[in-house]
Amino acid sequence: MGNGVRVELRITAPESCPVADASAATGGVGRSVAWSAEPESERTVEEFVLDLPDEDAGVGSDELSLPIESVFADASSEIYRFERDCRRDCPCVSIERFGSPVADVEAREGTLFVTFHVAEIDEIRPMLTELRSRYEGLSVERIIRSETTGPDSTLVHVDRGRLTDRQVEVLQTALEMGYFQRPRDATAGEVADALDINRATFAEHLASAQRKLLPSIVGTRD
C-alpha cells in the first residue's frame, strides 16, 4: 500500500461559488455539497446544506453569483439547489480535473475549505501551481501524509497555522519552483530573487519554518 497524502486547501472569496456566497451572506456554514451532471444539457445541478446561525438568517438573491432555491428546511438548516454550466470551472471541478475526487467541501464566511487526496506527494506541486493561477485567494491549510509502510502506521499532521504568512509564502514559492526537488529545479538564490529578498533572509525563513514543522513530523527526543 502506498503513502497517500491528504491536502486541505483554503480559498478566500472564490468567484462563482454560491456555497461560499451563501455562507458569507448569512454567517452560516455550507457543507455536504453534492452535484450531478447532465451531459446532454451541459448543466450541472448542485445541492448543499446551509447551517444557519439563527432563524432570521436568509439568503438574498443579490448577494449570490448564481440563483439558488431552497428545497428543504428544518429548525437549524436548509438545503439549497442551483444549476451551473458544467463546462465552467469552479475550485472543486478544477481539482477533480487532475484525477483527485474532492473528499469534503465546507464554506465559512465566504471562504471555501476543500479536502482531497493524492497517491504521492509529488502530485501536489503541479496541482497547486495550476490552481493558484486560477484562484488568487488559494493557500494550503494542511498537508497530512499517511505512513503505512511499517507496523506502527501513523498520520502525520502538518499544521500550517504555526507559520507566519511570510514563512508560508517562502515555503510555497520554494515548493513551486522546485527547490526541494532532487536535483533542484531552482537554487536558493533564484527562490530568494522571486521573493525579492536576499539569500540569507530566505535561509532564515526556511530554517524557522522547519524548526516549527519538523517536530510534529519526526517527533522530539525526551
- From first to last of its 222 residues, the chain has per-residue pLDDT tens of 456 888 999 999 888 788 999 999 888 899 999 888 776 778 889 999 999 877 665 666 566 667 888 899 887 788 999 988 877 788 998 999 899 999 999 999 999 999 999 988 888 888 888 888 888 888 888 888 776 555 555 555 666 677 888 888 898 899 888 888 878 888 999 999 999 999 999 999 988 888 887 776 665 555
Q: What is the pLDDT of residue 116?
A: 94
Q: Report which of 91, 85, 96 is spatially closest to residue 136, judged by C-alpha positions.
A: 91
Q: What is the pLDDT of residue 122?
A: 81
Q: Where are the domains of the chain?
A: 13-120, 138-218
Q: What is the pLDDT of residue 1?
A: 45
CA distance 197 to 63: 40
**CA 61 → CA 20, 29, 82, 194, 211, distances in Å?**
14, 17, 12, 42, 48
Say if residues 73 and 1 touch (Cβ distance below 8 Å): no
Q: What is the pLDDT of residue 107?
A: 95
| Residue 138 backbone zone (phi > 0: left; psi -120 to 50: alpha; other: beta) | beta
CATH ID of 138-218, from 1.10.3820, 1.10.8, 1.10.10, 1.10.1070: 1.10.10
Say if residues 65 and 18 touch (Cβ distance below 8 Å): yes
Q: Report which of 156, 124, 165 is spatially closest to residue 9, judged by C-alpha positions.
A: 124
Q: Looking at 86-137, which runs of residues are DSSP E strands?
A: 102-108, 111-118
Q: What is the pLDDT of residue 63?
A: 61
- Residue that the C-alpha cell 451541459 belongs to: 42
CA distance 4 to 143: 11
CA distance 28 to 73: 14
Q: Is 189 exposed, middle or buried (0-12, 13-18, 19+ CB in 10 A)?
A: exposed
